[in-house]
C-alpha cells in the first residue's frame, strides 16, 4: 500500500461512481469513433478504442470489456475474422459482440452471426435508438449470468 505505484486498479477505474460498463469499440473511421464514444461516455460507459483488428483483439484479451462494438470494414483483418479470433478466447465466450456496419447486402448479417457476433447495428447509427440497442445487448449478457 505504501508506494502508490502498484495499485490494483488504474486510477481512472470508477466502478460505482458512474461508470456502468466498459465497451470496446473497434473502428477505423474517426467520425464514427468520435460520435459513438461521445454517446456512450455521456451515459456513463467507459469506451476503449481500437483502430484495427489485431489491436482490438489484444485489448479485449487484456482489458476484458463488457461488450464489443465491431466495425466490419477494417484495414487488414476484417471484422468477421476479428470476431472469430475474439470467440477463440474462452474468456470472451459470453461477451456480446455487436457488428456495426454500413454493409446493406443480404447475407452480411448472417455472416456476422456465423463469425460469432451476437448483434448487428447498421450505420449510419441513429443516436436516438443506438444506446437502447447497446443496452439490450449488455442485458443479454447479464441474463446469462456473466455480468456483475
| Piece of 4-12, 40-48, 71-79, 133-141 that binds Mn ion (CB under 5 A) | 71-79
In the window 81-140, what residues touch Mn ion (CB under 5 A)? Answer: none
- 31, 119 Cβ separation under 8 angstroms: no
**Nearest distance, CB of residue 99 and Mn ion, angstroms:** 11
Binding Mn ion (rule: CB under 5 A), the pick from 71, 83, 116, 134 is: 71
| Integer angstrom CA distances of residue 72 from 7, 39, 125, 126, 132 | 36, 20, 14, 18, 21
Q: Per rule CB under 5 A, is residue 73 in the interface with Mn ion?
A: yes
**Helix segments in the chain, DSSP class H:** 30-42, 53-63, 79-87, 108-114, 127-143
Q: How far is CA 29 from CA 76, 81, 142, 148, in A?
A: 14, 18, 30, 31
- Total of residues contacting Mn ion (CB under 5 A): 3
Confirm or reject binding of residue 28 to Mn ion (CB under 5 A): yes
Cβ closest to Mn ion, residue 44 vs residue 76: 76
The residue written with cell numbers 484479451 in the block is 61
Provide Rg for the chain, Cα atoms.
15
Please report whether residue 69 would count as binding Mn ion according to CB under 5 A. Answer: no
Q: Which is nearer to Mn ion, 66 or 71 (CB)?
A: 71
Span from 27-35, 43-51, 86-94, 123-131 in contact with Mn ion (CB under 5 A): 27-35
Write out the residues near Mn ion by the rule CB under 5 A: 28, 71, 73
Amino acid at each position: 500500500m505504501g508506494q502508490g505505484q502498484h495499485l490494483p486498479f488504474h486510477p481512472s477505474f470508477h466502478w460505482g461512481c458512474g461508470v456502468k460498463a466498459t465497451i470496446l469499440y473497434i473502428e477505423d473511421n474517426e467520425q464514427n469513433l468520435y460520435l459513438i464514444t461521445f454517446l456512450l461516455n455521456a451515459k456513463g460507459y467507459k469506451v476503449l478504442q481500437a483502430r484495427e483488428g489485431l489491436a482490438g483483439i489484444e485489448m479485449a484479451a487484456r482489458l476484458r470489456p463488457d461488450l464489443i462494438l465491431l466495425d466490419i470494414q477494417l484495414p487488414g483483418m476484417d471484422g468477421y475474422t476479428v470476431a472469430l479470433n475474439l470467440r477463440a478466447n474462452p474468456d470472451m465466450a459470453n461477451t456480446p459482440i455487436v457488428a456495426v456496419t454500413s454493409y446493406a447486402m443480404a447475407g452480411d448479417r448472417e455472416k456476422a452471426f456465423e463469425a460469432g457476433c451476437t448483434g448487428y447495428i447498421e450505420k449510419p447509427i441513429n443516436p436516438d435508438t443506438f444506446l437502447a440497442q447497446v443496452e439490450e445487448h449488455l442485458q443479454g449478457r447479464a441474463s446469462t449470468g456473466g455480468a456483475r
